[in-house]
Amino acid sequence: MATKLAGILYHNSSLSPSILKGERNQDQVRPEELLFTLLETVEADAIPAYKYEAIARGFPFISLPPQINLGDPAFAGYYKQASCTQLNGSLNFGKPIVFDITIPNTVRNTEGAIHFVKFLFSDQGKKIFENDGFKLLPLTAGGNKTAIPQEISVLTIK
């Protein structure tokens, strides 16, 4: 998706095909879990990665512009311009990649889970995320909002 978005941003429709040599090119498109191994063993010169992964491994990185990095909900409409066809034939359109947290109904230690989530939302927790390369978004609630513990729901934007 990022290479297609780069082609749109830079008005170069051949950018993605020239980089990837096709969506199914096994020399260019590898399983995510192998990417850092390829970089560490010098089998790859560069890889796409989440910023937090590069920071955790101590690798230098270049941050992509928000129009390309799929990390800014404000660009959701822009991201939809790019698409890729999955192996099953379904078409996926670009959309923001965001991380969420949930406390499952099957949790054994509800109180501990609530304390953990509250810590993540605290100034100290937010600082950890920022130091690890995460861009923090406004806290929002989704799904069955009435199931969110009161101590957490008061921290989110309704």
**CATH number where 66 lies:** 3.40.190.10
Using an 8 Å Cβ cutoff, are 95 and 39 in contact? no
Q: Is residue 135 part of a domain?
A: yes
Backbone angle region of 129, left / alpha / beta, with phi > 0 → left and psi within -120 to 50 → alpha: alpha
- Domain count across the chain: 2
Q: Is residue 82 part of a domain?
A: yes
Q: Is the model more confident about 120 or about 140?
A: 120
Q: Is residue 70 part of a domain?
A: yes
Average pLDDT for the chain: 88
- Whether the predicted pLDDT of 155 surpasses 90: no
pTM of the model: 0.76
User: Domain check: are 54 and 125 in the same one?
Assistant: no
User: Domain check: are 9 and 75 in the same one?
Assistant: yes
User: Domain check: are 51 and 117 in the same one?
Assistant: no
Q: Is residue 99 part of a domain?
A: no
Rounded to whole angstroms, how far apart are CA atoms 79 and 4? 9
What tokens does 11 get?
């008005």
- Whether the predicted pLDDT of 20 surpasses 60: yes
Q: What are the DSSP calls for 32-58, one per residue?
A: HHHHHHHHHTTS-S-----HHHHHHHT
| Tens digits of residue pLDDT in 91-112 | 999 999 988 888 998 999 999 9
**Domain ranges, residue 124:** 110-153
User: Domain check: are 58 and 126 in the same one?
Assistant: no
Q: Is residue 120 part of a domain?
A: yes
- 52-56, 71-75, 140-144: segment of lowest average pLDDT: 140-144
User: Residues near 121 by Cβ (< 8 Å), separated by ≥ 6?
Assistant: 139, 152, 155
- Whether the predicted pLDDT of 157 surpasses 80: no
Task: Please name every residue paired with 157 in a beta bridge, in sequence order, or none if there are none.
Answer: 140
| Tens digits of residue pLDDT in 31-66 | 777 888 888 898 888 888 889 889 988 989 999 999
